[in-house]
Structure 1
Amino acid sequence: MDLGIAGKTAVVCASTSGLGRATAEALAAEGARVVVCGRRADVAAEVAAGLPQAVGVGVDLMAPEGPAALLAAARTAFGPVDILVLNGPGPRPARVTEIHAEELGPAVDSLVTVHHRLVTGVLGHMRAQRWGRVLAIGSSAVAAPIGDLALSGIGRTALAAYLKMLAGEVAADGVTVNMLLPGRIATDRVRALDATRASRSGRDVAEVHAESVRRIPVNRYGEPAEFGATAAFLCGGPASYLTGSAVRCDGGLVPGM
């Protein structure tokens, strides 16, 4: 399938590792010109060097000037942004009774405010050319709460509400807005969460991993490349009638359609 994104400029946030990197690699394989983003410029440049048409940008998106600096670097390298993939690290693991009031603001800032700034910076071009893609890498916690990821669930659910309203406002301009919800994908982040759960319960990490696998109908963790391929499709031309949706890539983990 030709996704029709060859030559498009794609900015993928937090793309030096994990799901962001898998998405950047999938978009690059389809011919997109990719801006790899991370806090460490050297790592971003190294990842970009392994892709056909890519540049690496070192930037702290939590800094007030961070989003504008990233988009300026993208325009300098490849021109206006056609595809924006929102992504970022989640807050610390904690149950809802364990979080503190002062943690809620930073969680929303990192998962909503930063992304709003990025969207605002690219939306004018997308609407003017009547083609654009905004895709957020979320979490299955948006569809079903995950007990020990309360801060992440609160922030990402707020982001989902923002994106749903945005999708309705820009759909007629040819801009789609979606969220892709990973389940248990074999990334460093998921391995770290498994380790935290093991430590909390006094069990071996392998036991926690096996317990998680038993809850997944396909009986394994997903591969980052599988997630990346799904993300690339949602950013492509054939997905032009799919907007305002939260799509799960979770091996059937969430018990509901």
Structure 2
Amino acid sequence: MDLGLSGRTAIVLGASQGMGLAIAAALRAEGAAVAMFARRRDVLEREAARLGALAVPGDLTDPSDLRRLVDTAVERLGGVDVLVLNGGGPPPGPASGITTQDVEAAVALLLTPHVHLVAACLPHLRASGRGRIVAIESTSVKEPIANLALSNAVRPGVVGWLKTLARELGPEGITVNTVAPGRIDTERLQALYGAGGPGPEILAQIPARRLGRPAEIAAAVCFLASEQAAYISGSVVAVDGGMLSGLT
């Protein structure tokens, strides 16, 4: 299937490792020009050179870095057709242990950068004629995850904002969707569960009986960014090996 991504331009956040890197690689393989954004300059520049992409180092929580990202992508690549919102998660911990400062920091990490970037990219997504916004969140937007109280609290609000955007931007041909990864084999998962990753008791909760691969998240993103996905908007697509059991 030709996804119609050849010649399109994309911004991918958190692109130096894990799911973000896999998404950048998949978009490049489909023929898209990609601006990769992450904090670690050396790793980002190495991976971007390997993929033939544009490296724009910066901090997701710094609005000036985000403006520079969009300006650089437009100047060097000619526009923005696809915006992939992706980043790290807040620290783990129980709900009874979080402070108001923790919540503010989580909002500054998970929501505020999205708001800045969408505002900066909207003129270019409108000019595209087929703009796509895809956010990488978590299955915590559907079902709380033990010991991830901050993610459970803030990410559903992010999805509420994204769904509102989808309604507002739909008449302009811009789609807005969320990918909700389950247990994906990334550095973040190792940080949460240790170098050995989740134990057998966690894998037993996943009908597929394995961890997901970053490339499987990337495949979902490429489809949502495609011509064929023009009638999909405001959706939350779980890529979790069947782990979620809810009906909504």
- CA contact under 8 A between 1:67 and 1:118: conserved in structure 2? yes
Question: CA separation in 1, counterparts of 2:182 and 2:113?
Answer: 23
Question: CA separation in 1, counterparts of 2:101 and 2:114?
Answer: 20
Q: Indicate yes or no: 2:215 matched with 1:225.
A: yes
Question: CA separation in 1, counterparts of 2:29 and 2:204?
Answer: 33
2:170 aligned partner = 171
2:7 aligned partner = 7
Q: Indicate yes or no: 2:238 matched with 1:254.
A: no
Find runs of 4+ consecutive structure 1 residues off by over 3 angstroms: none
How far is the alpha carbon of 1:122 from its aligned partner?
A: 1.0
How far is the alpha carbon of 1:76 from its aligned partner?
A: 2.1
* 1:1-257 mapped onto 2 (5 Å cutoff): 1-51=1-51, 53-195=52-194, 205=196, 208-257=198-247
Question: CA separation in 1, counterparts of 2:41 and 2:24?
Answer: 16
Question: CA separation in 2, counterparts of 1:231 and 1:125?
Answer: 19
- CA contact under 8 A between 1:36 and 1:47: conserved in structure 2? no
Question: CA separation in 1, counterparts of 2:135 and 2:18?
Answer: 14
- CA contact under 8 A between 2:63 and 2:116: conserved in structure 1? no
Cα shift readout 1:197-225 (whole Å, capped 9, x = no counterpart): xxxxxxxx57x421111000011111111
Question: CA separation in 2, counterparts of 1:166 and 1:78?
Answer: 25
Question: CA separation in 2, counterparts of 1:22 and 1:95?
Answer: 31
Secondary structure of the 2:199 match is helix
| Identity fraction in percent | 43
Aligned residue pair count: 247
Root-mean-square deviation over aligned CA pairs: 1.3
Secondary structure of the 1:65 match is helix
Give the TM-score normalised by the residue count of structure 2. 0.96
How far is the alpha carbon of 1:167 from its aligned partner?
A: 0.3
- CA contact under 8 A between 2:207 and 2:241: conserved in structure 1? yes
How far is the alpha carbon of 1:40 from its aligned partner?
A: 2.0
Question: CA separation in 2, counterparts of 1:54 and 1:26?
Answer: 12
Question: For structure 1, which segment, 223-232 or 134-143, has the greater mean C-alpha deviation from structure 2 after superposition?
Answer: 223-232
Give the TM-score normalised by the residue count of structure 1. 0.93
Unaligned runs of 5+ in 2: none
Cα shift readout 1:225-253 (whole Å, capped 9, x = no counterpart): 11111111111111110000110000011
Question: CA separation in 1, counterparts of 2:222 and 2:202?
Answer: 27
